[in-house]
């Protein structure tokens, strides 16, 4: 969707959106409309109980020239804050995405108090993100259901809005890229094709490196390779590096994403019902890739490395068995109790590799790791685990500011002991209780001394069964706005 800016409302605008603050319906006025038409409009809006609340929408039509009609839309913007304008933009996109309208003209100058440039950027971003939809495989979509909305013209936006949107547009591009990756079916998106999709990041200045099976075998990544050995798809370790610091940050901030492009559970096979959802078990890797795109597209003044461990977990005759013992790249041994607890096996080798390669001081990993996290938090928050209170606080504040919220969970020796194994250094699952915590404890065992680390369990956040703030049902793009905010607030020079 294209966002354009205009000084005034174009005369040919067929669909005119008037932002209305809460309680300001009585002041609504359509330019060039008669007093009678404006009076009828205000009365009709009041009769429909439209009060200008954020996200509220009222629609009517006024007679135009030569027998034409003009669609007039009142969009509630509440107090015209950034949050309220985001709700308004999302509501407009949801209502008019398939309404046969190509262009929305929004008269921002109609507001008595001009919103900030950042609030306008949030409004535009919500329009773009809520209008996103994956229709590539729908060949018989009825005409009335096809997406028609392709542009929004923002008229009378305050000074600085275009520059603010340019920054937000890069973030929206990253979110959309993540959604595309998460939405693709597993016969289309697998480790090799995931890497191919990310090759496009080179155009933005991102350095791409890829390790295949041979390189990972040479490195001793027995945990990651153990997960992949049941699939005909070769695993990949994708490394994306963006350095916009001008050399002032020799040590990069590191993001690591779990990229299980399809998860059957392996020999510990999942139940058939709902297994199709496991195409999005690469949501952590998708978020890392989208974040790297967003940072590069907006030329972030930071040095960041994104690593994605990409595998497919399948149950063939060569698959890993429950009871197998594997040796991780760190040298630590792992008794595999459950082959469906595979994400932590992928992450541990990816984390070890990136520590040996770049010696980072801060690592954040993201993973759709445990069903237990969905039981704990539902689909409202991502789970946060960290060995550093300062990093945890930064992530919590970034989550709140960006709209990708987090909730912190504990770590401790009592939980750590639950994954001790009688025949190896550790086992890959603990008891049923505290499943998300013991999973985090497992990953922590591979974090070097002195490294600030956070683990984000986003199992309940990457896919939505109902529309949300700036997404429809399906892939949400969770994590991109969060990580971008973290970089912008705490890691840019």
Question: Residue 240: phi, psi to the nearest 5?
Answer: -120, 130
- pTM, rounded to two decimals: 0.97
Is the CB of residue 239 less than 8 Å from the CB of residue 208? yes
Picking from 87, 152, 151, 154, the residue whose alpha carbon sits closest to that of residue 114 is 154
Q: Is pLDDT above 90 for 493?
A: no
For residue 449, give the 3-state DSSP assignment: coil
CB 386 within 8 A of CB 392: yes
Residue 414: predicted pLDDT: 98
What does the pLDDT read at residue 11?
81
Rounded to an integer, what distance in angstroms lies between the CA atom of residue 175 and that of residue 256?
A: 17
Q: What is the mean pLDDT of residues 27-56?
A: 95
Give Cα 207 distance to the centre of its chain. 22
Q: What tens digit of pLDDT does each residue of 222-249 get?
A: 999 999 999 999 999 999 999 999 999 9
**DSSP assignments along 1-60, one per residue:** -EEEEESS--TT-SEEEEEE-TT-GGG---TT--HHHHHHHHHHHHHTT----TT-EEEE
Domains of the chain are: 2-158 (3.40.220.10), 169-490 (3.40.630.10)
Instruction: Give me the active site residues, please.
Output: 270, 344
pLDDT single digits (tens) 430-485: 999 999 999 999 999 999 999 999 999 999 999 999 999 999 999 999 999 999 99
Q: DSSP code of 364?
A: E
Give pLDDT, residue 167. Answer: 95
Element (H, E) at 106: strand 103-107
- The pLDDT-based confidence of 69 (bands split at 50, 70, 90) is confident
Cβ–Cβ contacts within 10 Å for residue 205, how many? 13
Q: How far apart are CA 364 and CA 142, in angstroms?
A: 44
Q: Specify burial of residue 397 (Cβ count, 10 A radius: 0-12, 13-18, 19+).
A: middle
Q: How many CB atoms lie within 10 A of CB 315?
A: 18
Using a 10 angstrom Cβ sphere, with 0-12 exposed, 13-18 middle and 19 or more buried, the burial of residue 361 is middle
pLDDT bin (cut points 50, 70, 90) of residue 220 is very high
- 38/44 Cα distance (integer angstroms): 10
Phi, psi at 10, each rounded to 5°: -60, 140
Q: b/e map of 264-303 (b: 16 or more CB within 10 Å)? A: bbbbbebeeeeeeebbbbbbbbbbbbbbbbbbbbbebbbb
Query: What local confidence, expressed as pLDDT, does residue 68 receive?
Result: 76
Number of Cβ atoms within 10 Å of the Cβ of 57: 17
- In sequence order, the 6+-apart residues with CB closer than 8 A to the CB of 260 are 227, 278, 281, 282, 311, 312, 313, 342, 343, 346, 368
Q: What is the average per-residue pLDDT within 102-115? A: 94
Chain length of the chain: 493
Confidence of residue 32 (pLDDT cuts 50, 70, 90): confident
Percent of the chain surpassing pLDDT 70: 99
Checking if the pLDDT of 12 tops 90, the result is: no
150-205 per-position pLDDT tens digit: 999 999 999 999 999 999 999 999 999 999 999 999 999 999 999 999 999 999 99
Other CB atoms closer than 10 Å to residue 338's CB: what's the count?
A: 14
Look at the block and give the residue holding tokens 């275009």.
162
Average pLDDT value for the chain: 97
DSSP labels, 218-270: HHT-HHHHHHHTT-SSPPEEEEEEEE-STTS--SPEEEEEEEEEEE--TTSPP
End-to-end CA distance of the chain: 32
Q: Are 76 and 116 in contact, with CB atoms under 8 Å apart? A: no
d(CA 382, CA 406): 5
Burial level of 8, CB count in 10 A (0-12/13-18/19+)? Answer: exposed
Alpha-carbon span 248 to 67, nearest angstrom: 64
Q: What is the mean pLDDT of residues 356-377?
A: 98
Mean pLDDT across 301-311:
98
pLDDT score of 64? 73
Decide if pLDDT at 65 tops 80.
no
Which pLDDT score, from 0 to 100, does residue 63 have?
A: 83
Closest to 57 measured CA to CA, from 20, 84, 103, 9: 20
The pLDDT value recorded for residue 67 is 66
Q: Write the DSSP string, 258-269.
A: EEEEEE--TTSP
Closest CA to 443 of 482, 389, 388, 385: 385
Q: What pLDDT sits at residue 298?
A: 98
Question: In the predicted model, what is the mean pLDDT of residues 134-159?
Answer: 96
């Amino acid at each position: 969707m294209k966002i354009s800016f205009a000084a005034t409302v174009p005369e040919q605008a067929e669909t005119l959106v008037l932002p209305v603050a809460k309680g300001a319906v009585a002041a609504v006025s359509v330019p060039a409309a008669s007093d009678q038409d404006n009076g009828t409009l205000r009365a009709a809006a009041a009769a429909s109980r439209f009060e200008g609340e954020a996200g509220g929408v009222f629609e009517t039509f006024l007679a135009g020239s030569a027998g034409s009609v003009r669609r007039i839309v009142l969009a509630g913007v509440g107090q015209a804050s950034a949050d309220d304008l985001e709700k308004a933009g999302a509501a407009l996109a949801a209502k008019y995405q398939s309404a046969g309208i190509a262009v929305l003209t929004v008269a921002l100058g109609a507001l008595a108090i001009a919103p900030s440039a950042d609030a306008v950027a949030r409004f535009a971003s919500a329009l773009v993100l809520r209008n996103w939809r994956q229709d590539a495989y729908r060949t018989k979509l009825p005409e009335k259901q096809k997406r028609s909305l392709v542009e929004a013209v923002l008229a009378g936006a305050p000074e600085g809005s275009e520059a603010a949107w340019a920054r937000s547009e890069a973030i929206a591009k990253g979110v959309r890229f993540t959604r595309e990756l998460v939405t693709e079916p597993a016969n289309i998106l697998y480790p090799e094709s995931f890497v191919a999709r990310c090759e496009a990041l080179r155009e933005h200045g991102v350095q791409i490196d890829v390790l295949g099976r041979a390189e990972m075998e040479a490195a001793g990544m027995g945990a990651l390779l153990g997960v992949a050995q049941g699939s005909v798809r070769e695993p990949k370790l994708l490394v994306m590096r963006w350095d916009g610091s001008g050399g002032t940050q020799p040590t990069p901030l590191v993001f690591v994403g779990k990229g299980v492009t399809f998860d059957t559970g392996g020999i510990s096979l999942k139940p058939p019902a709902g297994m199709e959802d496991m195409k999005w078990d690469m949501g952590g890797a998708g978020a890392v890739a989208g974040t790297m795109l967003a940072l590069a597209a907006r030329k972030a003044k930071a040095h960041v490395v994104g690593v994605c461990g990409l595998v497919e977990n399948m149950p063939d005759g060569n698959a890993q068995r429950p009871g197998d013992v594997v040796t991780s790249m760190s040298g630590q041994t792992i008794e595999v109790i459950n082959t469906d607890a595979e994400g932590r096996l992928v992450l541990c080798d990816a984390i070890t590799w990136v520590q040996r390669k770049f010696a980072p001081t801060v690592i954040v990993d993201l993973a759709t790791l445990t069903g237990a996290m969905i039981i704990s938090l539902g689909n409202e928050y991502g789970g946060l685990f960290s060995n550093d209170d300062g990093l945890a606080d930064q992530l919590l504040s970034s989550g709140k500011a960006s709209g990708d919220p987090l909730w912190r969970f504990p770590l401790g020796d009592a939980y750590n002991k639950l994954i001790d194994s009688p025949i190896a250094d550790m086992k890959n699952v603990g008891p049923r209780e505290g499943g998300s915590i013991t999973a985090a404890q497992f990953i922590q065992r591979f974090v070097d001394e002195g490294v600030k680390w956070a683990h984000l369990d986003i199992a309940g956040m990457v896919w939505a069964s109902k529309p949300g703030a700036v997404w429809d049902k399906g892939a949400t793009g969770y994590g991109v706005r969060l990580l971008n905010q973290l970089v912008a607030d705490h890691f840019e020079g």
